[in-house]
């Protein structure tokens, strides 16, 4: 009886949605997996992150990874309508510019989705509280050594694997080691955002008011286009409203290597005053009652020319930092993971270069176009000038111009890669 072949091993740096998704797909492809994550523990009911939208393909893929697929529907709410409204800031009225009733996405809270994916993995895959330091590829390109330090003990550990998966986000230090001159591009605006938990207050004046102004909350993704600004509003499970307000401002000073900053009390007071000038009073009340709103600096980058080198591969925001206007970031990460897993399964560890080359050939053309389309969509909705047209004015826009606001115009919007069929 012959000895069983030793499983190939992958080291995944970053345990957010991209990393935890890759853990699933690589295990399914027959790989051993270890995930290096700087957070001390998995988020458990914490308010980490905010809302996100999952498209039909991402939903189908996630359901195939978890033991109880129905849990995904129980943790999300439908987003069957994509609607763009114009907001008259002076008269405080709104009207519909475009409406797509065949959207078929679902809304999730980041922490809920992460918990669902994480809890469906085998135990002890994650090295929590470990900060990635460096990596080195062996001279024969046969292995990769990763160094990380444990936050609590300062002990440096080394992990040797056959593949390094960089899921370390848009500020990826692994990407920087290959393309040191590749810079993130600041969009010119930030996202003020928060999640209002209204459990126990379902019949409050604020909730009754917002449901009257936005009657299809619970199934509609609402965009509100004002003068040089726009908002997003949709409902999450368990009596929560997710809202976003994009505000022009100078590039912030990013601290602690994060795109997200907590808002100071002075900043929150100023935000409330500015909101009253611009948005419907029902929306303003939601903003005012939200505890701990935060600020996301909005960045993307020019598409990369490659997303793998030797036995190191980029996934998620490390591979394609994108603006959030087209509900793509999480969906792109999930699809990256699925395609990478299938390529590794198809080619086997002994043909790793062929597997990574096919992954790149499938994903790079798609994500490159999607990043640029999301950038353009953000500029249109934010009232910024594009190279080929003047700024979008919701009060005077033609019906053809309004149609460009729809999510379904995203390149490869409903495309399913052949390797997943």
Mean pLDDT of 194-210: 96
DSSP code for 381: H
Express as a percent the part of the chain with pLDDT over 90.
88
Alpha helices in 107-171 (DSSP H): 110-119
The angle that helices 205-213 and 281-289 make with each other, rounded to 10 degrees, is: 140
CA nearest to 26, candidates 12, 16, 15, 13: 12
Placement of tokens 């907590």 in the chain: 262
Placement of tokens 């330090």 in the chain: 149
- Structure confidence at residue 255 (pLDDT): 64
pLDDT > 90? residue 387: no
| Mean pLDDT estimate for the chain | 94
- Structure confidence at residue 45 (pLDDT): 54
Highest CATH level, class, for 9-51+112-183+302-390+409-420: alpha beta
User: How far apart (Å, rounded) are the C-alpha atoms in residues 223 and 273?
Assistant: 21
Alpha helices in 238-351 (DSSP H): 265-278, 281-289, 329-347
Residues in the chain: 421
247-256 long-range Cβ contacts below 8 angstroms, 24+ apart? 247/189, 247/190, 247/191, 247/192, 247/274, 248/188, 248/189, 248/382, 249/189, 249/190, 251/186, 251/297, 252/190, 252/295, 252/297, 254/297
Strand ranges, E, within 81-210: 81-88, 93-100, 105-109, 126-127, 130-137, 144-150, 156-161, 163-166, 185-197
pLDDT > 90? residue 196: yes
pLDDT band at 5 (very low <50, low <70, confident <90, very high): confident
Residues of each domain in the chain carrying CATH 3.30.9.60:
71-107+185-300
- Structure confidence at residue 260 (pLDDT): 79
Element (H, E) at 297: strand 294-300
For residue range 234-247, list pLDDT tens digits in order.
999 999 999 999 99
- Structure confidence at residue 47 (pLDDT): 53
Distances in Å between the Cα of 99 and the Cα atoms of 81, 130, 178, 379 are 7, 46, 43, 20
Burial label, 289 (beta-carbon count in 10 A; 0-12, 13-18, 19+): middle
Quick check: helix, strand or coil at residue 166? strand
Mean pLDDT of 16-20: 97
Architecture of domain 71-107+185-300 in this structure: 2-Layer Sandwich (3.30)
- Structure confidence at residue 43 (pLDDT): 75
Rg (CA), the chain: 22
For residue range 132-150, list pLDDT tens digits in order.
999 999 999 999 999 999 9
pLDDT band at 3 (very low <50, low <70, confident <90, very high): very low
For residue range 280-312, list pLDDT tens digits in order.
999 999 999 999 999 999 999 999 999 999 999
Residues 115/121/124/128 CA torsion (nearest 10 deg): -30
Residues of each domain in the chain carrying CATH 3.50.50.60:
9-51+112-183+302-390+409-420
- Structure confidence at residue 6 (pLDDT): 87
Of 82-91, 116-125, 309-318, 379-388, least confident by mean pLDDT is 379-388
Its pTM stands at 0.95
Burial state string for 333-352 with b = 16 or more CB within 10 A and e = fewer than 16: bbbbbbbbbbbbbebebeeb
Mean pLDDT of 370-380: 96
- Structure confidence at residue 128 (pLDDT): 96
Q: Which residues pair with 93 in a beta bridge?
A: 88
């Amino acid at each position: 009886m012959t000895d069983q072949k030793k499983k190939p091993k992958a080291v995944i740096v970053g345990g957010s949605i991209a990393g935890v998704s890759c853990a699933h797909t690589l295990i399914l492809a027959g790989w051993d997996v270890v995930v290096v994550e700087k957070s001390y523990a998995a988020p458990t009911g914490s308010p980490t992150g905010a809302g996100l939208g999952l498209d039909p393909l991402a939903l189908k893929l996630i359901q195939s990874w978890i033991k109880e697929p129905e849990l995904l529907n129980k943790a999300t709410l439908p987003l069957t309508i994509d609607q763009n409204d114009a907001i008259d800031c002076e008269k405080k009225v709104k009207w519909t510019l475009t409406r797509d009733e065949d959207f078929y996405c679902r809304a999730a809270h980041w922490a809920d989705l992460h918990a669902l994916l994480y809890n469906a993995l085998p135990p002890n895959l994650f090295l929590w509280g470990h900060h990635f330091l460096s990596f080195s590829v062996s001279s024969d390109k046969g292995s990769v050594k990763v160094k990380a330090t444990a936050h609590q003990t300062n002990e440096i550990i080394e992990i040797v694997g056959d593949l390094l998966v960089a899921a370390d986000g848009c500020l990826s230090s692994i990407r920087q080691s290959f393309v040191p001159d590749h810079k993130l591009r600041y969009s010119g605006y930030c996202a003020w955002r928060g999640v209002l938990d209204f459990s126990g207050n379902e019949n409050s004046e604020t909730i009754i008011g917002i449901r009257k102004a936005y009657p299809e909350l619970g199934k509609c993704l609402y965009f509100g286009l004002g003068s040089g600004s726009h908002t997003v509003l949709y409902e999450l499970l368990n009596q929560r409203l997710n809202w976003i307000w994009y505000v022009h401002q100078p590039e912030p000073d990013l601290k602690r290597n994060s795109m997200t900053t907590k808002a100071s009390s002075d900043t929150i007071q100023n935000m409330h005053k500015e909101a009253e000038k611009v948005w419907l009073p029902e929306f303003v009340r939601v903003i005012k009652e939200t505890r701990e709103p935060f600020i996301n600096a909005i960045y993307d980058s020019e598409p990369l020319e490659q997303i793998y080198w030797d036995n190191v591969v980029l996934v998620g925001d490390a591979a394609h930092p994108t603006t959030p206007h087209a509900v793509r970031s999480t969906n792109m990460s999930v699809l990256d993971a699925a395609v990478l897993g299938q390529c590794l399964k198809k080619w086997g560890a002994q043909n790793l270069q062929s597997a990574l080359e096919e992954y790149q050939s499938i994903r790079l053309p798609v994500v490159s176009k999607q990043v640029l389309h999301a950038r353009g969509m953000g500029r249109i909705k934010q009232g910024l000038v594009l190279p080929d047209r003047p700024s979008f004015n919701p009060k005077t826009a033609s019906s053809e111009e309004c149609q460009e606001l729809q999510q379904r115009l995203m390149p490869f919007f409903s495309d399913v890669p052949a390797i997943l069929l």
